[in-house]
Chains A and B, each alone.
Chain A
């Protein structure tokens, strides 16, 4: 009988409350950890997404630079329309195609804008434009004409977003915060060019703006350094800091200049 009664005993209120308290404490800790990991995951996921987007963008830009300048004029028997061949690896303005402008003083190519010339495989020469507008890097493709490459109909529908949240030239409201948090990314607090150009000189490839004037010409661009500083969509949920990262690549023109 005693045995039977003992077997039928439930938990005491004290036992129940103690166990529930322990359970709730453990649950609270677990949910806290879960929330923390969710925040972390969300931040890292955003970082990863931004990184991937920028990396694919750089890969696309570098690919286009590598094949720029195809076909050059020496692939033809006689002068053809300048729309039929690549005058250089990059188109320029002003003066295109007769007179080179000095890189640094050109409207394009510039720190945030470049128009590449190449055949993308369809037998026609195309202009491929990359331009940073606000914080979005756009890419557009137009079939080359004999007109001015800068004023060609680059409009909505032609220029499509390639990489978002590009902070090379951050908007005014964010400049102070970004440069304060990432001083090494913005030496002197100055905006950073997306495109830097190297020109072919007898002494080898040199930054165009440091090369002798004769060789500072879009036609002679041999390499383009591409640097993207991208930011996540939202600040870090834990630290509330802006998350930025820098990616870089270099495209090398293999086609000869005219």
Chain B
């Protein structure tokens, strides 16, 4: 059996607030194997996005063990985590989070340049071509529609050739038809590149496109559905 690409063991995260400590994640365990697509659903405040940030190495945990793409996060510093993200993890956000002062091409080339990859711009061009934006490469984010911005964000996420793609409500800021196109694109690219995918969404229908759906509530995983097995059975 291959080792999982994501392994969370007894992970808890407590943050201080004005009203006192708030437990965001409590004793969470999760294991995702390579190539698997996992949807995370749950009500607002259930800890979905926080769990995604923990997997991305952007939020340190209070206790427990986090292993992602073969690295144990608690032993790594901020810069090592950044390098791992740059090389192995692509992230897509609801609000796109493109650098507003850079063109679509520059945005996509940026993580490659950070990793010191030669021919970053050529690779970025190819990725933009893959998402159907070869005609918008020189445009700034403000000159692009919401759907186009999200395509740029997806191209940027896959450009370094990551093993893992994380997506936080990627269609949340898009209309239904554009959202559907984006999801199709993401799943197509995931299949083409053999990526693992973790998709946070409110939309259970969207989550069901994944191999597996995890239901969260109050910082805990309350249900773990393996849709492939259910489909086979």
| A and B from one complex | no
Which residues of chain B have a CB within 8 Å of any CB of chain A? none
Which residues of chain A have a CB within 8 Å of any CB of chain B? none
